[in-house]
Amino acid sequence: MIENTLLQALGIEVTHLEKGKVIASMPVDERTRQPFGILHGGASVALAETVASVGAYELVDQETEVVAGLEINANHVRSKHEGVVTAVGTVLHQGRTTQVWDIKLTDEQDRLICVSRCTMAVIKKK
């Protein structure tokens, strides 16, 4: 399902999945750094929205519903030059038409790199 997607291009791997919680990792390398050599904020946001999307999809009726990002924000609190960032997403609100997810990205020493909140729309399949 990730072949030929942004997840594959950025090296994002989902490592843990349960109802209401998702963990994924992403390398900080030539694919995810900005020109000044640090983790690109857009790559962090892509990882955060991936975690929220995967988690939201696990909480809906997959026969009749899909999910899509409605809004996302992020605060980039620490730079990262190399290594791996890990995102842990947890559901804050699970409604009939929306879900709100809290996502924290940390480094290998468990230092906060980015904190994000993502609102997911729950959409009925046509």
Question: Does residue 24 contact residue 35 with C-beta atoms inside 8 Å?
Answer: no
- Which of these, 67, 46, 44, 71, lies nearest to 55 by C-alpha position? 67
Gap between the Cα atoms of 23 and 17, Å rounded: 7
Q: Give yes or no: 58 in active site.
A: no
How many Å apart are CA 97 and CA 121, to the nearest integer? 6
Point out the catalytic residue in the list 13, 49, 63, 71: 49
Which residues are identified as catalytic?
Answer: 49
